[in-house]
Structure 1
Amino acid sequence: MALSTPLHIVSGKGGTGKTTVAAALAMALADTGKRVLLCEVEGRQGIAQLFDVPPLPYEERKIAVGLGGGEVFALAVDAESALLEYLQMYYKLGRAGRALDKFGIIDFATTIAPGVRDVLLTGKIYEAAKRKNGSRFVYDAVVMDAPPTGRITRFLAVNEEVAGLAKAGPVKRQADSIMSMMRSRQTHVHLVTLLEEMRLPVGAVIANMVRPALLSDSTQQALESAELTAEAVSRSLDGIGLDGHVAPILIAEGRGHIERQRLQAAQRAELENHAVVELPAISEAIDQGALFDLARILRTDLLKEAS
């Protein structure tokens, strides 16, 4: 019997598109009749921007219909609101907690004790993953747009973070419970990367923004051997009524594309013994249509593999 809703934690280096992947994963998980909660913990309002909705408050709101017709809800978790909720839940400090907030005590506490801050952020997601309506979990899956890989280990190791701050009591019990969920089989950590930047040996990886080869073998060979010159490209452009002065730019772009393909191929070869899901680069702004396209790939290549 499952002790919590499956939790999917999405992390990656800044600029790899982890928020986009987390959103697409939530869309992929939202099958017919299923409810998925998509959470962010960094205060960037990246989810609201992706789905073109107003900034998310500290409450769960439906923001989209998923790939299979299910519902996607979103939540922006901030430590101050989570601490007020925590004080009310465990100490019944309703008005008193709000009074502390007015005096800046809440901000002070979450600033000087970063370990406690992470317990509060992950604790809200823990609560959502454990929440039930009768005998059924409220959500069928929870997706967390987590901090970048540079902070993810410390962020998830909340038990160690609070060890020096709380030896017993509700905070310590909360941290222990969160760690039990993080280490359970219900929790999956997904790392998002770009193929040319991948350097870590991991068990599974989502390679985002993969660019297809745009040049034929003959064109690539001509560019690499310098047989295809700017003068030749310029004459070809002039012949079809285009500005031949852009020829050097096109040559440079072509060579840059070849180098990127080489980097992708080299990193793909290093990952040949790992489960890799490749998501294509999308040149236009990410909208819900693009998220649906990415969600279909994730449902086919990632979720079936994990099931």
Structure 2
Amino acid sequence: MSRIEEDRNGHAPDWEGVRLHVVSGKGGTGKTTAAAALALGLAAEGRRTLLIEVEGRQGIAQLFEQEALPYEERRIAAAPGGGEVFALAIDPELALLDYLEMFYKLGRAGKALKKLGAIDFATTIAPGLRDVLLTGKACEAVRRKDKSGRRIYDAVVMDAPPTGRITRFLNVNTEVAGLARFGPIHNQAQAVMRVLRSPETAVHLVTLLEEMPVQETVDGFTELRAAGLPVGGVVVNMVRPGILDDSAVRAVENGSRQAVAKALSGAGLGGASRGAAAERLVTPLLEQAREHAERLVLERQERAELAELGLPTYELELLGEGVDLGGLYRLAGALRDQGMA
């Protein structure tokens, strides 16, 4: 039975119990799109998800056709079955003010520091501090409860930094906890790492069926495992349909001009008057088919390399017209059908 059939028969999704989904991937693989689709999928059937952006690109706002997101949690979409998606674009400076207020009760003094430029100086001069604030804000959203003790969000999805720096980004609190041996900073760093290293977290890697993105996915997987961080699944994005079957690929590899000419004749391009036209079409058609066949062979090789990781793998189709809001819902449905959400 396929993963899709299992999900439609009522089986639990693959990541039951995971509350923080960290989505990373090489630049250009569409990790923001994958994160947004996952957030929509997880919000289905009356659930609430929070989609967090940490890189300041406002990519989430563009995907959901919204104005630039402020530093506040804002409802941006309804999901099938009555669910809701909220979004937050984390501003490191404002997150630091929150932190100072939470642990040191600075209040107006913190705002005065911002006016003096101290907050901007701190987050710029100490990149590690910036990452601590970003991961801390996400983990706080995961742990947050209402007055009745119920979690505010059923799941939090983070559109995280690229694969090349995801391990250091997530692991920065370990370094901070080691530097600050006691006090609120030490305690906060340890609390964040307890969430990030727990079964409540999964780091998903987005890739394309191309050599460089797949290699970066393999490298990211290796680094995450070595750091003791929980690796989730692989999302293969922008998958193009395979037009040729295996027999057609073999025919192309053999350069069967006769077979192509015969097929063209069968399509109405035969006969004495149209034979020359059919013949002129054979060469460019064979060339395009050969390129397509070569791509299929390369994609098979990349799929085999991803399979060696032993991770659940999901595929999102290439949307030829680009990803609009309707396309985003379509991709969310695909992730649900495959059991990821």
Residue 195 of structure 1 aligns with which residue? 209
Alignment of 1:134-145 (within 5 A): 134=147, 135-145=149-159
Counterpart CA distance in 1 for 2:283 and 2:157 is 46
Identity of aligned residues (%): 57
Are the structure 2 counterparts of residues 103 and 18 from structure 1 closer, same or farther at C-alpha, using a change threshold of 3 Å?
Answer: same
Counterpart CA distance in 2 for 1:103 and 1:246 is 70
Are the structure 2 counterparts of residues 126 and 234 from structure 1 closer, same or farther at C-alpha, using a change threshold of 3 Å?
Answer: same
Deviation by residue 1:181-216 (Cα, 9 ceiling, x = unmatched): 001111111111113332317573121112221135
Are the structure 2 counterparts of residues 60 and 219 from structure 1 closer, same or farther at C-alpha, using a change threshold of 3 Å?
Answer: same
Counterpart CA distance in 1 for 2:264 and 2:89 is 52
Does 2:149 match 1:120?
A: no
Does 2:183 match 1:146?
A: no
* Alpha-carbon RMSD: 3.1
Counterpart CA distance in 2 for 1:78 and 1:257 is 44
Does 2:58 match 1:23?
A: no
Cα distance, 1:85 vs structure 2: 1.2
Counterpart CA distance in 2 for 1:268 and 1:172 is 42
Q: Given the two structures, how large is their TM-score scaled by the length of structure 2?
A: 0.78
Are the structure 2 counterparts of residues 259 and 85 from structure 1 closer, same or farther at C-alpha, using a change threshold of 3 Å?
Answer: same
Residue 281 of structure 1 aligns with which residue? 318
Counterpart CA distance in 1 for 2:302 and 2:76 is 36
Cα distance, 1:30 vs structure 2: 0.6
Say how many residue pairs are matched. 299
Residue 205 of structure 1 aligns with which residue? 234
Counterpart CA distance in 1 for 2:105 and 2:141 is 20
Does 2:291 match 1:268?
A: no
Equivalent pair of 1:29/1:67 in contact (CA under 8 Å):
no
The runs of 5 or more residues in structure 1 that have no matched partner are none
Match for 2:169: what amino acid? F
Out of 149, 162, 183, the position equivalent to 2:197 is 183
Cα distance, 1:37 vs structure 2: 0.3
Residue 69 of structure 2 aligns with which residue? 56
The runs of 5 or more residues in structure 2 that have no matched partner are 1-16, 222-230
Q: Given the two structures, how large is their TM-score scaled by the length of structure 1?
A: 0.86
Equivalent pair of 2:177/2:185 in contact (CA under 8 Å):
no
Cα distance, 1:44 vs structure 2: 0.7
Match for 1:140: what amino acid? D
Alignment of 1:1-307 (within 5 A): 6-134=19-147, 135-163=149-177, 165-197=179-211, 198-199=214-215, 200=218, 202=221, 204-217=233-246, 219-228=248-257, 252-270=287-305, 271=307, 273-303=310-340
Cα distance, 1:217 vs structure 2: 4.7
Equivalent pair of 1:57/1:76 in contact (CA under 8 Å):
yes
Cα distance, 1:114 vs structure 2: 1.5
Equivalent pair of 2:18/2:202 in contact (CA under 8 Å):
no
Cα distance, 1:228 vs structure 2: 4.2
Are the structure 2 counterparts of residues 44 and 222 from structure 1 closer, same or farther at C-alpha, using a change threshold of 3 Å?
Answer: same
| Equivalent position SS for 2:339 | helix
| Equivalent position SS for 1:137 | coil
Are the structure 2 counterparts of residues 107 and 250 from structure 1 closer, same or farther at C-alpha, using a change threshold of 3 Å?
Answer: farther
Counterpart CA distance in 2 for 1:142 and 1:56 is 17
Counterpart CA distance in 2 for 1:109 and 1:287 is 38
Match for 1:260: what amino acid? R
Equivalent pair of 1:58/1:78 in contact (CA under 8 Å):
yes
Cα distance, 1:12 vs structure 2: 0.9
Counterpart CA distance in 2 for 1:32 and 1:181 is 25
Cα distance, 1:163 vs structure 2: 4.5
Counterpart CA distance in 1 for 2:140 and 2:319 is 35
Counterpart CA distance in 1 for 2:18 and 2:142 is 5
Equivalent pair of 2:42/2:155 in contact (CA under 8 Å):
yes
Are the structure 2 counterparts of residues 239 and 146 from structure 1 closer, same or farther at C-alpha, using a change threshold of 3 Å?
Answer: farther
Deviation by residue 1:6-44 (Cα, 9 ceiling, x = unmatched): 111111111111111110101111122211100010001
Equivalent pair of 1:154/1:161 in contact (CA under 8 Å):
no
Cα distance, 1:227 vs structure 2: 3.7
Counterpart CA distance in 1 for 2:264 and 2:108 is 74
Deviation by residue 1:263-293 (Cα, 9 ceiling, x = unmatched): 2111222306442112212211212221122
Match for 1:293: what amino acid? R
